[in-house]
Amino acid sequence: MKQRMKRLLGGVVMAAVVLAVTVFGAAQETVLTVGVVAGSYWDAPTGNCYAVIDAAIARFEQAHPNVRVEYTSGILKRDYSEWLTGQYLLGREPDVFMVLPEDFGMLAEQGALQPLDNLLASDPAVSTEDFYTAALQSGAAGGVQYALPYECVPTLMFVNKTLLEAENIPVPDNDWTWDDFYEICAQVTRDTDGDGTIDQFGSYGYTWRDALAANGAALFDENGSSCLIAQPASVEAVRFAQRLEELYADCDITARSFDEGHVAFRPFLFSDYRTYQPYPWRIKRYSDFEWDCIQMPGGPSGTGRSELSTVLAAISSRSSEQALAWEFLKELTCSDETQSMLYTDSHSVSALRRVTQSPQTQQILRQDTPGESRLGLEILSDAMEQAVAAPHFRAYDQALLLAESLVSTAMEDDHNLSLQLQRVQRELEEYLQN
């Protein structure tokens, strides 16, 4: 009887130990939540859109036992901003989350993002010098770094090489100017079949905003307190765009015109270059002509700069796992392994200079690029170095819509553009101050 009681008691003790170990072990597991977008922010076709994040999580969990990283899948770009805002209002936002360019200003102003300056200053493994300047600036506001660049894309100029060759015009060098751009556009814009209608054009989609960046000008200051459209460099840029538009007065130019090979130049995101240069997408999109990309033409007061579009990664200011969140943020934005995967599993560009300029990255890109199409790869790092960060104050999107309307109206005045832009500047500054 005593032996039976001993065995029973031993079994109870053993079960209690197993239960305690199980409960204790489960209690020690930390869950880190992450907010990610399904698919490509750049609207480029992708295979496994979670390949990069899944690989980053696997490396992180291996290096951090008893930590589990979770994310909600299936949140499309068009729904992500609303989802993230809803989670924040409920107090359930992820510890680490992607920040879309259009949301950064609002999130920073609301205090939703953890400032990173102290973490950056105290962590010897990370240096702000590792990043391209414009990409890093995309995550800063009011002199505070709130987010780090996860992936970005510059704007480059697509060139219809076949059309230029037929006109005996060489593809411009990467240091070309507005004068070069306009001269080629004027030369190729003509009626090719003699029916009295212009059917070949110099450019499509080049706007006064492209000209602003290329001339070292800006529409607004960084904080959104002033409009700069009436500054001399800005007026110069809008005037050039106005002059270019006059070449195509009364012409019906569409995106399809470029797709069918009837346009020499069109600004595009580099993600489009990555998408449509390799086989088979190249055949599906542009099969009737050879094309490549070069830097944007430079204005007299600037260089061939373009605006950089950047998806950021940030830490919630209310996260209870700040230390772990910082380590995972570094895995996403500062890890060579994660950032290198942007070139194999996405169509974006790494903001890390050492990754984008590495021989391995260049080899990856060259494998995707057929024939003699090399210009886009050779200029990528230069385009990233020269790029400018888009403003991201809270009212930017609405102010930009108003500016688009006002500047378009001002460009209709052939003789008083400078005066018209002064009026535009006054109206926009009134809007910004309200």
Domain assignment of residue 166, yes or no: yes
Q: In 277-347, which residue ranges form alpha helices assigned H by DSSP?
A: 281-285, 322-333, 336-340, 342-345
Does 166 share its domain with 290? yes
In a domain, 5, yes or no: no
Domain boundary (364, 384, 404) is at 384
DSSP-based three-state secondary structure for 91: coil
Residue range 419-429: mean pLDDT, rounded: 96
Domain assignment of residue 163, given as a range? 155-305+395-433
Nearest Cα neighbor of 102 from 82, 81, 74, 79 is 81
* 105: in domain: yes
Query: Residue 204 burial by CB count (10 A; 0-12/13-18/19+): exposed, middle or buried?
Result: buried
Q: pLDDT tens digits for 174-185?
A: 889 999 999 999
Clarify whether residues 162 and 147 are in a common domain. Answer: no
Whether residue 230 is found in the same domain as residue 282: yes
Q: What is the pLDDT of residue 240?
A: 97
pLDDT computed for residue 18 by the predictor: 39
Q: Looking at residue 228, what is its pLDDT? A: 96
What local confidence, expressed as pLDDT, does residue 369 receive?
Answer: 61
> Is residue 40 included in any domain, yes or no?
yes
Residue with tokens 């090399």: 374
Q: Is residue 390 situated within a structural domain? A: no
Strand partners, 160: 291
State yes or no: pLDDT of 34 exceeds 90. yes
Task: Please check whether residues 23 and 114 belong to one and the same domain.
Answer: yes
Tell me, yes or no, whether 389 lies in a domain: no
Beta strands in 20-99 (DSSP E): 30-35, 67-71, 96-99
Query: Phi, psi at residue 263, to the nearest 5°?
Result: -130, 140
Among candidate residues 11, 6, 32, 7, the one with its CA nearest the CA of residue 315 = 32
Give per-residue pLDDT as tens, 59-82: 999 999 999 999 999 999 999 999
Cβ(148)–Cβ(154) below 8 Å: no
Cis before 45 (ω within 30) = no
Domain shared by 137 and 263, yes or no:
no
**Shared domain check, 257 and 195:** yes
Query: Mean pLDDT in the chain?
Result: 88
* 167 and 53 belong to one structural domain: no
What's the confidence (pLDDT) of residue 430?
94
Q: Is the model's pLDDT at 151 over the cut of 80?
A: yes
pLDDT at residue 277, as a whole number? 62
Percent helix / strand / coil, the chain, rounded to 5: 50, 15, 35
Q: How far apart are CA 328 and CA 330, in angstroms?
A: 5
Q: Within this chain, do residues 175 and 132 fall inside the same structural domain, yes or no?
A: no
Output the pTM of the full model: 0.87
* Residues 168, 140 share a domain: no
In a domain, 243, yes or no: yes
| Average pLDDT rounded to a whole number, residues 320-337 | 97
Whether the predicted pLDDT of 15 surpasses 60: no
Both 342 and 219 in a single domain?
A: no
Looking at the structure, tell me whether residues 338 and 421 fall in a common domain. no
Question: What's the structural domain count of the chain?
Answer: 2
Contact, 389 vs 135, CB < 8 A? Answer: yes
Share of the chain above pLDDT 90, in %: 68
Is 4 within a domain? no
**CA 323 to each of CA 31, 32, 116, 328: distance values in angstroms, whole numbers, following the listed order:** 13, 11, 12, 9
For residue 271, what are its two tokens? 């993600």
Higher pLDDT, 82 or 195: 82
pLDDT-based confidence at residue 282 (cuts at 50, 70, 90)? very low
Cα–Cα distance for residue pair 184/201, rounded to 1 Å = 10
What does the pLDDT average to over 201-230? 94
pLDDT above 70: percentage of residues in the chain: 88
Q: What is the mean pLDDT of residues 234-260?
A: 92
Residue 142 CA to chain centroid, in angstroms?
Answer: 21
Phi-psi region of 142 (alpha: psi -120 to 50; beta: other; left: phi over 0): left
Q: Are 89 and 194 members of one domain?
A: no
The reported pLDDT for the residue numbered 280 is 40
Reduced to 3 states (helix: H, G, I; strand: E, B; else coil), residue 349 is: strand
Instruction: Place 325 in a pLDDT band, splitting at 50, 70 and 90.
Output: very high
Q: Which residue is it, tokens 């009436």?
A: 230
Distance, CA of 164 to CA of 180 (rounded, Å)? 13
What's 218's domain CATH number?
3.40.190.10
CA distance 317 to 115: 8
Give the DSSP H or E segment for 420: helix 417-433
Please give the Cα distance from 82 to 266 (Å, whole number).
32
How many residues appear in the chain? Answer: 434
What single-letter DSSP state applies at residue 170? P
Pair 100, 80: CB distance under 8 Å: yes
One DSSP character per residue, 191-220 reads -SSSSSS--BEEESS--HHHHHHHTT--SB
> What is the pLDDT, as a whole number, of residue 378?
66
Task: Reply yes or no on whether the pLDDT at 372 is more than 70.
Answer: no
Give whichever of 9-18, 257-266, 271-280 has the largest mean pLDDT: 257-266
Q: Strand pairing partners for 313? A: 98, 148
Confidence band for 116, pLDDT divided at 50, 70 and 90: very high
